[in-house]
A and B are shown apart, each in its own frame.
Chain A
Amino acid sequence: ETGVTQSPTHLIKTRGQQVTLRCSSQSGHNTVSWYQQALGQGPQFIFQYYREEENGRGNFPPRFSGLQFPNYSSELNVNALELDDSALYLCASSLVGGAGSPLHFGNGTRLTVT
Chain B
Amino acid sequence: AQSVAQPEDQVNVAEGNPLTVKCTYSVSGNPYLFWYVQYPNRGLQFLLKYITGDNLVKGSYGFEAEFNKSQTSFHLKKPSALVSDSALYFCAVGYGNNRLAFGKGNQVVVIP
> Could you tell me if A107 and B43 are in contact, using CB atoms closer than 8 angstroms?
yes
| Cβ of B96 under 8 Å from chain A | yes
Q: How far is the CA of A102 from the CA of B59 in the complex (A)?
A: 13
Instruction: For chain A, residues 96 to 114, give those with C-beta under 8 angstroms from any C-beta of chain B.
Output: 96-108, 110
Q: Which residues of A contact B51 (CB under 8 A)?
A: 100
> Could you tell me if B97 and A48 are in contact, using CB atoms closer than 8 angstroms?
yes
Count of B interface residues, CB-CB < 8 Å = 26
Majority SS at the chain B contact face: strand
Q: Which residues of B contact A48 (CB under 8 A)?
A: 97-99
> Could you tell me if B99 and A102 are in contact, using CB atoms closer than 8 angstroms?
no
User: Shortest beta-carbon distance, A32 to chain B, in Å?
Assistant: 10
Using C-beta atoms within 8 Å of the partner chain, give the interface range for chain A.
20 to 34
Closest to A102 in B: B46
Candidates A33, A40, A107, A110; contact of B98 at CB < 8 Å = A33
> Could you tell me if A98 and B49 are in contact, using CB atoms closer than 8 angstroms?
no
> Could you tell me if A55 and B43 are in contact, using CB atoms closer than 8 angstroms?
no
Given contacts A42-B90, A42-B105, contact A97 B97 (CB under 8 A): yes
Q: Which residues of A contact B44 (CB under 8 A)?
A: 43, 90, 92, 103, 105
| Cβ of B57 under 8 Å from chain A | no
| Cβ of B41 under 8 Å from chain A | yes
> Could you tell me if A33 and B43 are in contact, using CB atoms closer than 8 angstroms?
no
Q: How far is the CA of A50 from the CA of B103 in the complex (A)?
A: 25
> Could you tell me if A103 and B98 are in contact, using CB atoms closer than 8 angstroms?
yes
| Cβ of A2 under 8 Å from chain B | no
| Cβ of B101 under 8 Å from chain A | yes
Closest to B90 in A: A42
Residues of chain A having any CB pair with chain B under 8 Å: 4, 6, 31, 33, 35, 40-45, 48, 50, 55-56, 90, 92, 94, 96-108, 110
25 contacts between A and B (CB under 8 A): A4-B43, A6-B43, A33-B98, A33-B99, A35-B100, A41-B105, A42-B104, A43-B44, A44-B102, A45-B99, A50-B97, A56-B96, A90-B43, A92-B44, A96-B97, A98-B32, A99-B98, A99-B99, A100-B32, A100-B94, A102-B46, A103-B100, A105-B44, A107-B41, A107-B43
